[in-house]
Structure 1
Amino acid sequence: MIETSARPRFGAPREPKTTVDPGRGLVAVLDFVTVSHLRASAFLVLVGLLFFLPGFFNIPPIDRDEARFAQATKQMVETGDFIDIRYQDEVRYKKPVGIYWLQATVVETAGKLGLPRAQVRIWLYRVPSLAGAIGAVLMTYWAALAFVGRRGAVIAALMLCSCILLGVEARLAKTDAFLLFTVTAAMGAMARAYLGWQRGDIDPDRSWIVPAVFWTALAGGILLKGPLILMFIALTVIPLAILDRSVAWMWRLRPLLGLPWMLLWVLPWFIAIYLRAGDTFFADSVGGDMLSKIASPMESHGAPPGLYFLLFWATFWPGAPLAAMAAPAVWRARREPGAQYLLAWLIPSWIVFELVITKLPHYVLPLYPAIAIMTAGAIERRVLSRSWLARGSAWWFAIPAIILPLVVIGAVYLTRHPIFLAWPFAAGSLIFGLFAWRLFDDNRAEASLLNGALASLFLVVAVFGVVVPTLRPVFPSVEIARELRKVVCVGPKAAAAGYHEPSLVFMTGTDTLLTDGSGAADFLLGGSCRFAIVESRSERAFASRAEAIGLRYNVAVRIDGYNFSQGKPVSIAIFRSEGTQ
């Protein structure tokens, strides 16, 4: 059986080589921060801010999911109705209310503190995702302490913090970063109960921390994304129950008291939405959203099994090369309690996601902490593979060498500007990626990982901090809203034809009418201080209807851009009425 203090044994440790470590400066930082839990936690929070803040404030609303979540929250704040979830006049019952409450709390607090135009500042809606991402990093550290030492736990948390996928989700105002926080907290609590039972520790009745974390995390996860968190729990418990022929360890989580505690948090809103909408919410969220993704691709996101495995090498970079090298040792130790629990966390849920028809990269994000902890255990025990898998260390250099030229060239093509500010950061990413690759051996894996993390940080700054905010053609909604703010009339109203992205509604107002070309002409005729936002493909219908009703209009401005959610260029004219003929 595994001893928590001794950590899981992924194989026999090897004697370290007596070589000078070129990454000793970075390793010295690791030595300093792992002296205490306080230092380690403060370090991880600081690193999380460094990784997640570039671009956080100045990347415009991203279509479509982020803008839909933000707009639904905005309507809650505008109406004061925090029970129902709506996007304009349509109900939005795909997810429960948790993320909307978190976002609304931030936006309302900012407004009360005097921040102007708080309701249309997208970064405020992203604050819960930022908090959830940093919380997930800290929870990975806490969960890892059940399996490895403090140093290994920091390495596991750093691997998660620096991975590309979490960096993306931390900047999006939706559920997934905060869901990762709740899942990691629940799985870490469950790991402590399981490993304590395996060791035969006496269950201290006075300790309520682990059960409280577990059931509170379950409640939070359910309010964020319904029963998905329960799937992760069930698919971990079932294989453990089969292998151990017992689930007695679950009693350490005090379900007789924990379950009522969870229901106390969860049931009030579910009862309120049932009284408001009947069974519509449950039909839409479970049947219309969750179950339909299993059988058919949603919004053209279908893919065959194996996609997540392929995406893993990019989305878990820079930890992915080490994860590959750790895999043989982890598999050899699969019957040891620590590795057994982590594999039960990872494998069944991964298989389910590979079999589900609808696939999006972030679906497997709650499984990445398990991979990070297993990899950290192999690093700590110095049992990384010396086989051909070690050649994967070149991947530290390959990712920035592939991604950064594509991003910079694409940005130059779209903006017609060289974006010189991104070049030093791109060079830094390539340099540290090269260091991580060329200096790697299994006794200096920590130094290579830290160099890889620095390569990831420079890549993040170059892409999210510099390039993406400059891509004005990709965010036409921002330009449209800016033009409407220039008008001198009181209370401008708008109708959109052909361009119906949620970011437009978020930026221009909840009452923005989404219609066709003819409807936009009728709208323009209906009063003063009105504007028609017409995409070029709808202009003919607009002009025909305007002529039929005698509408005289002029072009206030024309905006050319690219609708990346549909993958096509757009040309949008803003028309203003001059009266009738």
Structure 2
Amino acid sequence: MVETYARPRFGEPREPKNLVNPGNRLVRMIDAVTVSHARAVAFLLVCGLLLFLPGFFTIPAIDRDEARFAQATKQMVESGDYVDIRFQDDVRYKKPVGIYWLQSAAVEAASAVGLPRAQLRIWVYRIPSLIGAVGAVLLTYWTALAFVTRRGAVFAALLMCCSVLLGAEARLAKTDAMLLFTVVAAMGALSRVYLSWQRGEDPEHPPWGPPAIFWTALAGGILIKGPLILMFAGLTIMTLAIMDRGAAWLWRLRPLWGLMWMLVLVLPWFVLIFLRAGDTFFADSVGGDMLSKIGAQESHGAPPGVYLLLFFVTFWPGAPLAVMAAPAVWRARREPGAQFLLAWLLPSWIVFEAVLTKLPHYVLPLYPALAILTVGALERRVLSRSWLRRGAAWWFAIPAITSVVAVIGAIIVTHQPVFLAWPFVAASLIFGLFAWWLYDDGRAERSLLNAGVAAMFLAFVVYGAVLPALTPLFPSAEIARALRNVVCVGPKAAAAGFHEPSLVFMTGTSTQLTDGSGAADFLSQGTCRFALVEQRTERAFVQRAEAIGLRYNVAKRIDGYNISQGRPVSIAIYRSEGTE
């Protein structure tokens, strides 16, 4: 037996009619949680924690972006200066202050409840990203309710929750999960205003709720990552105005009051940083960071089409279903709901493909539109029955490829079999295989749920078992552990040849980044000092030590791999024994 649904137009949500239970346990679970909004939200919250928490506490700080954000926040907490943004003595003006304030709040709260060494625990700095990721899942549900049924909204949120890209960003202490949160809030509010106008609703007193959410979300997005959120909203509005030959509905956003409210939230910090640093912040953030992405910034250049290729991995397990939904979505492109979602998705996607600098997370704020469009086709049972159905095999291919690479990679790097991952590997493969084999047009929901369970077990494999075991990939953590075990009080360090931000974060803001000769000079200046000398700079260190008569010994040698530079490293920890 199959389920039958009313087939609403995009933007005209209705509840399912004559729902017949197919007997599948996973589908029955969805039947139960979609009885009410409270159950649906609770279910999505649990799913978010199950998918995002593996590895959240155990993976060390990742170079370079995460460690840079965390160190800048740590210095903010240490100094008590919540206006300026610095990495050691250098200003860090690539992004506004929003994420640093959120991370500082997390650190201060953790310290207030008595967490030991809260400032050194990277997972504390990840809390805003976790909140942003879970919040974005819930806001995807809320946004989807304007387009599909409650059941469909749960599936759209699940597609976001299970996506590979959001799973990675939820575990990184940087801006992108929180930016996604603000974008989905803004676009969800914007969609309600637009669709109410399309339906001909003309209330005497338009509600204040959606405009308030929209302008507040824009302000939050600007404080998190600058004007990028304005591009998503602006391109959507411009596209809709062109397609509708007018934009009278924008007055329902109360733009005059909204702009004033947004400026009230945003301007104070920008004024303070201008008074502190002049135009340096704007030159670094707009000119040095944002505009430089038009070129190939930091060797991240790539040709157009890269995001489309990455989509099949980063939006897994939703990607196969999205491909099967694409023909139906395009046929429905003039319907109000589909038109809005495509205006959200396509213009910004084209901009990202055209810009030379490409990083996978740039397109993350567009994935909620993809998820809702996909579920809209799923609910209307108009998924493609052509050769595109062969893409269902991708539900099994990703767990198979990822599991093999993760386990074999762990054995090569650590020379250990990482047995903890194996049961989760087996479960991920089984559910991925079920998703593929059981797929048909009438039971696409069942396959998607099996793929979601496969994604959950895959998260345990990659983030919960394998990555924390790859200690050679995190030499900074090993160095910091060695320094914590020394017998002297208040050790100080200087690093030569290994200058990764994670080292500064884990060993202390005062860690000096120098060369081999400078490390020898540093070591000669007192007791309880340690020189962290990478093998390539040891010759200069030894020569300078001999020249100044420095006596030293090797406390420990740490061999590892610098993932930022893609090369092995061997770092000796030298301690002074005095001078001759």
Task: Please state which band the TM-score falls in when normalised by the shorter chain.
Answer: over 0.9
Aligned counterpart, 1:277: 277
Q: Does the alignment pair 1:320 with 2:319?
A: yes
Aligned to 1:389: 388
In the other structure, the counterpart of 1:181 is 181
Question: Normalised by the size of structure 2, how large is the TM-score?
Answer: 0.97
- Alpha-carbon contact 1:16-1:443 (below 8 Å) kept: no
User: Does 2:286 correspond to 1:286?
Assistant: yes
- Aligned pairs for 1:536-575 (under 5 A) are 536-575=535-574
| 3-state SS, counterpart of residue 421 of structure 1 | helix
Separation in 2, partners of 1:298, 1:511: 29
Secondary structure of the 1:252 match is: helix
Is the 2:11–2:148 Cα contact (8 Å) retained in structure 1?
A: no
Give aligned pairs, total.
571
User: Aligned letter for 1:207?
Assistant: P
Q: Residues 86 and 259 (structure 1 numbering): CA distance in 2 closer, same or farther, change over 3 Å?
A: same
Shift of 1:6: 3.6
Partner residue of 2:141?
A: 141
The residue aligned with 1:229 is 229
Q: Which runs of structure 2 are paired with 1:129-528 in the superposition (5 Å)?
A: 129-203=129-203, 205=205, 207-294=207-294, 296-528=295-527
Secondary structure of the residue that 2:81 maps to in structure 1? coil
For residues 94 and 283 of structure 1, the distance between their equivalents in structure 2, rounded to whole angstroms, comes to 9
* Contact kept in structure 1, 2:63 and 2:501, CA below 8 Å: yes
Letter in 2 for 1:356: V
Q: How many Å separate the matches in 2 of 1:285 and 1:397?
A: 42
Deviations 1:321-380 (A, max 9, x none): 000000000000111111111111000000000011110000000000000000010111
TM-score after normalising by structure 1: 0.97
Distance 1:459 1:9, change over 3 A: same
Superimposed CA distance per residue, residues 369-428 of structure 1 (whole angstroms, 9 cap, x where no aligned partner): 000000010111111000000110000001011111011101111111000110110111
How is 1:29-48 mapped onto 2 (pairs within 5 angstroms)? Answer: 29-48=29-48
Whether 1:77 aligns to 2:83 is no
Distance 1:32 1:204 in 2: 38
1:4-27 alpha-carbon deviations (Å, 9 max, x no partner):
9944299xxxx9999x95x71000
Preserved CA contact (<8 Å) 2:325 2:383: yes
Distance 1:446 1:485, change over 3 A: same
Give the aligned CA root-mean-square deviation in angstroms. 1.6
Matched residue type, 2:469: T
Question: Is the CA contact (8 Å cut-off) linking 2:8 and 2:380 kept in structure 1?
Answer: no
- What are structure 1's unaligned runs of at least 5 residues? none
Tell me, what secondary structure is at the counterpart of 1:266?
helix
Q: Distance in 2 between matches of 1:384 and 1:424?
A: 34
TM-superposed CA distance for 1:257, in Å, is: 1.0
Between the two proteins, what is the percent identity of the paired residues? 73
**8 Å contact kept, 1:203–1:252:** no
Aligned-pair CA distance for 1:310 = 0.3
In 2, the alpha carbon distance for the partners of 1:460 and 1:16 equals 36
Which of the residues 7, 10, 18 maps onto 1:8?
10
Cα distance per residue 1:175-231 (max 9 Å; x no partner): 000100000110010000111111111236262211111011001000000000000
Counterpart contact for 2:26–2:446, Cα < 8 Å: yes
Q: Give the 3 Å change call, closer, same or farther, for CA 16–441 of structure 1 in structure 2.
A: farther
Secondary structure at the residue paired with 1:572? strand
- Alpha-carbon distance between aligned partners in 1 of 2:300 and 2:148, rounded to the nearest angstrom: 38
Alignment partner of 1:541: what SS?
Answer: helix
For 1:526 and 1:16, the matched residues in 2 are separated by 81
Deviation sequence 1:229-268 (CA, Å, 0-9, x none) = 0000111111111110111111111111111111111000
Q: Following the alignment from structure 2 to structure 1, what is the Cα–Cα distance between the partners of residues 550 and 28?
A: 73
The CA distance in 1 between the partners of 2:8 and 2:461, in whole Å, is: 41
Instruction: Name the amino acid aligned to 2:315.
Output: F
Query: Equivalents in 1 of 2:29, 2:254: separation in Å?
Result: 40
Residue number in structure 1 paired with 2:3:
none
Give 1:161 shift: 0.2
Distance 1:311 1:561 in 2: 29
- 1:71–1:502 contact (8 Å) kept in structure 2: yes
8 A contact 1:411–1:471 mirrored in 2: yes
Distance 2:226 2:206 in 1: 31
Amino acid at match of 2:496: A
Give structure 2 stretches of 5+ with no counterpart: 1-5
Match for residue 118 of structure 1?
118
**Pairwise CA distance, 1:164:** 0.5
Amino acid at match of 1:270: F
Q: What amino acid maps onto 2:381 in structure 1?
A: R
* Aligned counterpart, 1:101: 101
CA shift, 1:285, in A, is 0.2
Contact 1:474/1:563 (<8 A) preserved = yes
How far apart, in 2, do the equivalents of 1:479 and 1:160 lie? 35
1:545-571 residue CA offsets vs partner (Å, 9 max, x unmatched)? 101111110000000001111111100
Query: Aligned to 2:556, what secondary structure does the other structure show?
Result: strand
Secondary structure of the structure 2 residue equivalent to 1:299: helix
Matched residue of 1:531: which SS? strand
